[in-house]
Amino acid sequence: MLKTNNQRIFLPAFIKPLEEKNQIGSKKQFAQPKLDLLQPLRQWLDKIEIQNRKFAKFIAKLIPAQCPFERDIMLFGRIIGHIPPMCKLNPLYNELVYLRFRALCYLVDQCGEDIQSYC
């Protein structure tokens, strides 16, 4: 028990919920791993090597820099609604963004191109 500003704080009241959370977390460690059906596709996307200028330009144009679904809904010049970006719902989003990044890096490092038009 601690005494601060004429109030008494009982430590077990704060420690006990943490112990319960730790027990729940330890139970999750023994859960069976989930089957990831997209893992082979993820690995294939990560293994793609960019060694051609045309292919790098194609990838940079094909994969958008920003989510194309994000929109502001306007009526009479005022924003009445907003559609949030939904690209994060794509299970391959990180791999595609990384592939685009590698294509842009190839264009800059190997080809010496300016990539302002792709941004």
Per-residue pLDDT tens digits for 37-75: 889 999 999 999 999 999 999 999 999 888 878 888 889
pLDDT for res 108? 93
Residue 23 has pLDDT above 90, yes or no: no
Give CA–CA dist 9/96, Å, rounded: 52
- Residue 71 CA to residue 58 CA, distance in Å, equals 25
Helices first, then strands: H and E counts in the chain: 4, 4
Query: Where in the chain are the domains?
Result: 35-118
Mean residue pLDDT of the chain comes to 80
Residue 80 DSSP one-character state:
E
Cα dist from 109 to 50, 51, 65, 66, whole Å: 12, 12, 19, 23
